Structure 1
Amino acid sequence: MTTRDVVFPEGRQALYERNRYSPAIKSNGFLFVSGQVGSLEDGSPEPNLEAQVRRAFENLNAILASAGATFNDVIDVTVFMVNPESIFETVWKIVPEYWGEAPHPTLTGVGVTWLYGFQFEIKVIAKLPDAADSRVVV
């Protein structure tokens, strides 16, 4: 069995242990981050949509930082939205606050009917900086 190199952000270990999953796993120079939602410290949903999206990004950034990475190292993003036709515009006006400058990562958006009480979730794969490609891309 492969040993998992788990990354835990500070202060949220109990939440992950209770729900029985790892926030992120390092493997072969990549960081695979579990879907992050806008949860409060106790794991409950942030009730305001805009605050929930910001908190999801902040939770994601805390995991990336724990691995020595930033959102600039993200190469692939999957977002899940409940009722995307009604929340997309609200969500997408917040994304540039965290997304950074082009070139942007790849993106897959998925509309879902249920996210355990949340309206938005973001899952990413990042290339770890110490494993970064040394080539110069023009």
Structure 2
Amino acid sequence: MKRIDIKNAPAAIGAYSQAVKANGFLFISGQIPVDPTTGEFASSDIKTQAEQVMKNLSAIVESENLNMSQVVKSTILIDDIKNFTAVDEIYASYFNDGAYPARAAYQVAKLPKDALVEIEMIVACE
């Protein structure tokens, strides 16, 4: 098992790793819209937050010489299901070939640091 900790994505804010590579998969912890250069939220706008989350996820994926087409499963957590369409639009733009991974999306009562969106992913390393 290999733990992943890169500077191009926000540092963990608790007892977890940014990602763990094991058994042919990369398991990426939920990413919130923290800009890794400032340590602050990108903005309070749902689209900007979703974009930052996807940038953070992509940075972790690419750090292992993988790409977004290798994502096999993701989970989206949003504070308001009314924002799903806006988040889905940003999310979909990161999968250029249209071969989307399996996914679940949930509205939750509260996210860390009052984020509007959090996304986790599982990536095949093959």
Return structure 1 stretches of 4+ with deviation > 4 angstroms: none
**Aligned-residue CA RMSD (Å):** 1.7
- How big is each residue's C-alpha offset from its partner over 1:97-120, in whole Å with a ceiling of 9 and x where there is no partner? 112223321011111010121111
- In structure 1, C-alpha distance between the alignment counterparts of 2:109 and 2:72, rounded to whole Å: 26
Q: Distance in 2 between matches of 1:62 and 1:69?
A: 10
- The equivalent residue for 2:57 is 60
What is the total number of aligned residue pairs between the two structures? 123
Partner of 1:136: none
* Corresponding residue number in structure 1 for 2:93: 97
CA distance in 1, matches of 2:35, 2:25: 27
1:36 to 15, 24, 31: 31
Task: From the CA coordinates, give the structure whose radius of gyration is larger.
Answer: 1
Q: Distance in 2 between matches of 1:99 and 1:11?
A: 20
Establish whether residue 22 from structure 1 lines up as the match of residue 38 from structure 2.
Answer: no
Q: String of CA shifts for 1:44-72, please: whole Å, max 9, x gaps.
A: 33222111100100000000011111111
Amino acid at match of 1:119: L
CA–CA separation in structure 2 for the residues paired with 1:21 and 1:91: 25
Cα displacement (A) at 1:11: 4.7
Mark the runs of 5 or more structure 1 residues left unpaired by the alignment: 133-138
Question: Using a 3 Å threshold, how does the CA distance of structure 1 residues 107 and 93 change in structure 2: closer, same or farther?
Answer: same
Whether contact under 8 Å (1:8, 1:66) holds in the other structure is no
Aligned identity (percent) is 25
The reply to whether residue 122 of structure 1 matches residue 84 of structure 2 is no
Structure 2 residue runs without a partner (length 5+): none
Q: Distance in 2 between matches of 1:10 and 1:45?
A: 16
